[in-house]
């Protein structure tokens, strides 16, 4: 696009905006808002010119993007201003009724009021309309800038430069690097020999000596002091030794780091470093922190102790593995120093390629060596054994995947650098190293937090495998995602852009769902839910037990209050969050069809549960029988009812079965019920005497009501006995089994004292052909029965008929009662 065409387009766009929207809107804005909007128009026009030209540097584009982001944030907030007042005016206009059609009229006062309200509504909507337009424009400009920067970074990564393997570049690279190092050395030597520096050192000598003394003490005595602090902390309990060990390891990093900061401050205060040296000196604390942190991670990951070993190492490889980790830290420091030196000095591309290649190759070799050590360890000492904890097993699975990826990068990165794609190789190898360090730090922090939880809860090292440790791992992983994105080349602006989009939310119909609205809904609903449970607990434990309402009624009141409270909490939360559910009516209508067919059973159980709580055919604590199951009702919920049987097992019965089926409620309304105790006596016993004894036993039992009085019924003449029954009304039918047992004990005792016999079933056996049995017995013994000829005895004995043994039809099926033969 030529500059002329661009200028014409901008002029036309400005005329359209001014005539169509901007001028009428600005006329209704206050002076401050108009001035701000005019500044925005200038900034937006300048941004469009820069984007069309595409000549600005990436740093300038980042600065322009920040400016546009501030405008966009302001416009995003202005889009929701005056919302409450606008709703009020819309409600007032709606209360006036529908506006009359053309050709119709309405009363003059109502027409004036409608016109006034509509004018106020338009004036309030103008800032929102202008902000919406400006927000869309700023959002589009930011997206264009991001696209330009991404395209530039992509071209830079894929750009091919001089090969570091070309010998022609080696001499020039050595001369350039030597000249840069010589410049730094010459500046430092000149500053050391300068009288100004000597005077500055003399004036600040006490401070210099103090800083140097602190640095020496911390660097030389930091480790012993850290162990002394750990010995002191262990006095508070041996169960926290994992925590104290972690604190000691942190002190071993913090104390030397403070010493290095003091040393750098002393050098800077002395003024012996020149301009270039000062720029590099500012980065020394960061480089020291990298090396100390990697050394700390190596000790934490490869401790050599089984209980603290996050990543077990083959025996004899511990020191080598730690050395590889320290070498990675040195490589990262040298690479960053090279980048800082390039910012200070003008270093050509061949020099950068030659200087970077050894570092890339060394990092790749270290990664490959770490992979080989891990592979040998896995072959000889598998990590997924039964003794490993969940955290260690999960750590090993993650590290196995990362190890394979780094193994691949260890081959690819040096090859890319050798072909001249040094930027691409650096974009692969160094983020891989940083990713390994970040994952290792997450594992160490997760274990430490698990140890803290184990110390506070008293679980000890078992807390490392608890649910808390798993949740902490997920939380740490989620928090590490932005860091991983930054490590692999994402810009901070990209992260802020994603965060802005996240805060902006998404649109559903006329409702915007944002994290703020969701958080408001969650907080209000949680508060309403907690208040409902608090009121339920107060009613259940304090108020309702003091009333005359039965337990079933109390449970119905508490449950109904819970449903109403949760429903109201949801409505209030939705209202407070500003969600408009009317836009979801179509979706709800479509879902109702699915509910009608797919969830009809659940809906039926829900409605049945409401009926049970309102009508109360059964209540909590009732003794019921349904579907062949008998037990006590322990809980009535929305979908089902829990029944506890007499063998102490819980049976979950759908509520619809209790409403549509046949249910026997033994304690409905009251606990009075009847107990029937049958008993039989031998023939020949005086029935009146038995009746008197049984009546006396029934009346003497404390659980039997005397009004109505118990009765003794002579049931009739049985096959073996005279049958009687005690029929008594009990105060509490729940004790019916105990009452029957007590009466049976007393009946056995009294009948024994009175000499009354309780008969048992008898059996008579009739043999129809005894001669056949005798002949069979004789044949088996080889003897001739008396009175039978020899010729007859030689013949086969006749088989007895199936009816030879005839059983009394009144006999017991078990056949284990007495018998007369």
pLDDT digit string, tens, across residues 516-566: 777 888 889 999 999 998 998 888 888 888 887 777 678 778 888 888 888
Query: Residue 245: is its pLDDT beyond 90?
Result: no
Residue 635: phi, psi to the nearest 5?
Answer: -160, 140
Query: Quick one: pLDDT band at residue 360, thresholds 50, 70, 90?
Result: very high
Q: At what angle do helices 515-538 and 492-504 cross, to 10 degrees?
A: 50
DSSP letter, residue 99: P
What pLDDT, on a 0 to 100 scale, did the predictor assign at position 316?
67
The whole-number pLDDT of residue 473 equals: 81
Q: Is the pLDDT of residue 159 over 90?
A: no
* pLDDT band at residue 593 using 50, 70 and 90 as cut-offs: low
**651 beta partners:** 643
Q: In this model, does residue 306 exceed pLDDT 60?
A: no
CATH code of domain 673-759: 3.30.70.100
Cα–Cα distance for residue pair 461/447, rounded to 1 Å: 10
Q: Return the percentage of the chain with pLDDT > 70, whole number.
A: 79
Mean pLDDT in residue range 64-92:
82
Question: 709-755: per-residue pLDDT in tens?
Answer: 899 999 999 888 899 999 999 988 888 889 999 999 999 999 999 88
CATH topology of domain 599-665: SH3 type barrels. (2.30.30)
Sign of the CA dihedral with 612 first, then 616, 622, and 628 last: negative
Lowest mean pLDDT among 100-114, 635-649, 736-750, 781-795: 781-795
Q: Has residue 344 got a pLDDT over 60? A: yes
For residue 501, what pLDDT is reported? 73
Q: What residue spans define the domains of the chain?
A: 3-158, 168-203+273-497, 505-579, 599-665, 673-759, 764-820
Topology match between the domains 599-665 and 673-759:
no
Write down the pLDDT at residue 12. Answer: 37
Q: Which of 228-232, 621-625, 729-733 comes out lowest in average pLDDT?
A: 228-232
Q: 241 or 518: whose pLDDT is higher?
A: 518
Evaluate if residue 808 carries a pLDDT over 50. Answer: no
pLDDT by residue (tens digit) across 561-582? Answer: 888 888 898 888 887 876 666 6
The answer to whether residues 486 and 430 touch, using CB atoms and an 8 Å cutoff, is: no
pLDDT exceeds 80 at position 383? no
From the number of C-beta atoms within 10 Å of its C-beta (0-12, 13-18, 19+), residue 94 rates as exposed
To the nearest 10°, report the CA torsion of 199, 202, 207, 208.
Answer: 90
DSSP 491-544: -HHHHHHHHHHHHH-EEETTEEE-HHHHHHHHHHHHHHHHHHHHHHHHIIIIIG
pLDDT of residue 398: 64
Report DSSP state, residue 28: T
Across residues 775-797, what is the average pLDDT? 54
């Amino acid at each position: 696009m030529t500059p002329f065409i661009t200028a014409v387009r901008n002029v036309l766009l400005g005329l359209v905006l001014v005539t169509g929207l901007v001028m009428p809107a600005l006329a209704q804005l206050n002076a401050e808002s108009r001035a701000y909007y005019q500044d925005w128009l200038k900034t937006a026009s300048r941004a469009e010119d820069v984007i069309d030209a595409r000549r600005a540097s990436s740093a300038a584009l980042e600065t322009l993007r920040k400016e546009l982001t501030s405008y966009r944030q302001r416009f995003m907030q202005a889009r929701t201003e005056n919302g409450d007042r606008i709703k009020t005016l819309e409600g007032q206009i709606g209360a006036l009724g529908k506006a009359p059609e053309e050709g119709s009229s309405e009363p003059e006062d109502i027409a004036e009021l409608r016109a006034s309200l509509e004018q106020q509504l338009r004036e309030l909507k103008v800032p929102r309309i202008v902000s919406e337009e400006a927000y869309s424009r700023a959002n589009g400009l930011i997206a264009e800038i991001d696209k330009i920067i991404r395209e530039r970074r992509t071209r830079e990564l894929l750009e091919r430069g001089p090969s570091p393997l070309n010998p022609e570049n080696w001499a020039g690279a050595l001369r350039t690097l030597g000249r840069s190092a010589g410049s730094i050395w010459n500046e430092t030597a000149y500053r050391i020999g300068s009288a100004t520096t000597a005077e500055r050192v003399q004036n600040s000598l006490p401070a210099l000596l103090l800083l140097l003394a602190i640095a020496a003490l911390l660097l030389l005595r930091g480790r012993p002091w850290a162990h002394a602090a750990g010995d002191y902390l262990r006095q508070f309990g041996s169960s926290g030794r994992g925590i104290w060990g972690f604190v000691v390891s942190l002190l071993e990093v913090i104390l030397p780091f403070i010493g290095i900061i003091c040393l750098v401050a002393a050098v800077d205060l002395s003024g012996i470093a020149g301009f270039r040296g000062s720029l590099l000196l500012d980065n020394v604390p960061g480089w020291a922190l990298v090396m100390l942190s990697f050394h700390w991670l190596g000790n934490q990951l490869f401790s050599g102790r089984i209980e603290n070993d996050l990543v077990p190492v083959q025996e004899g490889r511990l020191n080598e593995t730690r050395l590889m980790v320290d070498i990675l830290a040195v490589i990262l420091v040298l690479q960053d120093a090279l980048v800082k030196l390039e910012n200070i000095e003008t270093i050509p591309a061949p020099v950068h390629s030659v200087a970077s290649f050894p570092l890339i190759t060394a990092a790749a070799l270290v990664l490959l060596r770490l992979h080989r050590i891990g592979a040998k360890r896995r072959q000889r000492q598998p990590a997924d054994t039964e003794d490993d904890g969940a955290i260690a097993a999960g750590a090993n699975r993650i590290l196995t995947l990362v190890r394979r990826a780094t193994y691949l990068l260890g081959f690819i990165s040096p090859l890319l650098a050798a072909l001249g794609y040094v930027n691409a190789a650096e974009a692969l190898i160094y983020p891989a190293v940083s990713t390994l360090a970040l994952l290792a730090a997450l594992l160490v922090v997760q274990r430490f937090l698990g140890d803290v939880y184990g110390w506070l809860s008293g679980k000890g090292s078992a807390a490392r495998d608890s649910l808390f440790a798993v949740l902490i791992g997920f939380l740490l992983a989620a928090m590490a995602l932005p860091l991983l994105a930054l490590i692999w080349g994402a810009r901070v602006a990209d992260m802020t852009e994603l965060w802005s989009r996240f805060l902006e939310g998404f649109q559903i119909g006329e409702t915007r769902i944002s994290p703020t609205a969701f958080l408001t809904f969650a907080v209000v609903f949680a508060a309403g839910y907690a208040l409902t449970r608090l009121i339920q607990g107060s009613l259940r434990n304090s108020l309702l037990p003091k009333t005359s309402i039965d337990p079933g009624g109390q449970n119905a009141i508490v449950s109904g209050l819970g449903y109403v409270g949760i429903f109201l909490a949801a409505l209030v939360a939705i209202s407070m969050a500003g969600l408009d559910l009317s836009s979801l009516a179509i979706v709800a209508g479509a879902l109702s069809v699915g509910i009608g067919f797919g969830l009809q059973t659940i809906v039926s159980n829900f409605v049945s549960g409401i009926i049970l709580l309102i009508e109360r055919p059964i209540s909590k604590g009732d003794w019921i029988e349904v579907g062949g199951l008998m037990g006590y009702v322990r809980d009535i919920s929305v979908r089902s009812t829990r029944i506890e049987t007499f063998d102490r097992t819980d049976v979950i019965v759908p509520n619809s079965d209790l409403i549509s089926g046949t249910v026997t409620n033994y304690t409905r309304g009251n606990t009075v019920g009847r107990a029937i105790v049958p008993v039989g006596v031998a023939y020949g016993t005086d029935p009146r005497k038995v009746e008197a004894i049984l009546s006396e036993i029934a009346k003497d039992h404390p659980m039997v009501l005397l009004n109505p009085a118990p009765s003794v019924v002579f049931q009739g003449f049985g096959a073996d006995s005279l049958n009687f029954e005690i029929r008594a009304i009990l105060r509490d039918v729940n004790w019916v089994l105990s009452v029957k047992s007590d009466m049976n004990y007393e009946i056995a005792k009294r009948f024994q004292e009175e000499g009354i016999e309780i008969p048992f079933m008898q059996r008579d056996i009739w043999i129809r052909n005894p001669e056949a049995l005798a002949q069979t017995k004789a044949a088996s013994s080889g003897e001739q029965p008396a009175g039978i000829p020899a010729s007859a005895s030689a013949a086969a004995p006749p088989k007895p008929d199936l009816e030879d043994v005839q059983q009394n039809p009144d006999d017991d099926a078990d056949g284990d009662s007495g018998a007369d033969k």
